[in-house]
Homo-oligomer: A and B are copies of this chain.
């Protein structure tokens, strides 16, 4: 009975969050801001991938980053060293960001029109998948050491992501990771998912990721740009 009570509370939280997320997305459209929600397990390589993304696309769009962490500023410091706008969101123990927290972060960030904003969500394959942040697209990073069976175990995360980066492919020889099986498991959850193997450390595959992301940003900003 206890757990049933919790689920009711969660459902009303979800419905309210979905409304907030839809409003936020509309505001982003009006401002011509593209928001990407980037998720992964702890240590899968979100920050290193962001550093590579800034290198690849920083000359094309104003980029700004929101770093969500329970505690510490490790990642925000690494990102702000690149010179892009950064804000650190301390979630105070929360395991995910919702649309309202994302809105607060965006207010604090104050990114200019035309920006590509990335929310680096809390490292967690479960809860962040349940809350629409208001982002235009969701992406997640699965790293090779985590194993190719993760789409079987964390189905919702793989279902909600438009792109799945498979990171740390440089260490493939040292792990029992079956790339083809992994791709098949991901597509079972989400037939439309774009799967991009990368190595954020060496930069391998980042051009393909940057191409995908550039295309998404242009598609989102097109209605606004066409007005001018």
Contacts and interface: CB of A to CB of B under 8 A. Distances in A.
Contacts of A150: 42-43
Interface in A122-152: 122-127, 130, 143-147, 149-150, 152
A70 B126 contact: yes
Contacts of A94: 3
A153 B2 contact: no
A interface bracket (residues with beta carbon within 8 Å of B): 35 or more
Interface string A62-104: 0000000111101000000000000000000111001011000
A4 to B, nearest CB: 11
Contacts of A70: 126, 153-156
A6 interface: yes
B125 A2 contact: no
30 contacts: A3-B94, A3-B98, A41-B41, A41-B123, A42-B150, A42-B154, A43-B143, A43-B146, A43-B150, A69-B153, A70-B154, A71-B152, A71-B153, A71-B155, A72-B152, A72-B153, A74-B152, A93-B126, A95-B95, A95-B124, A95-B126, A95-B127, A122-B126, A123-B154, A124-B124, A124-B126, A145-B146, A145-B168, A171-B174, A171-B175
Given A69-B153, A171-B171, 14 more contacts: A2-B20, A42-B125, A43-B143, A44-B146, A72-B149, A74-B149, A93-B130, A95-B126, A123-B153, A123-B154, A124-B124, A126-B127, A127-B127, A145-B171
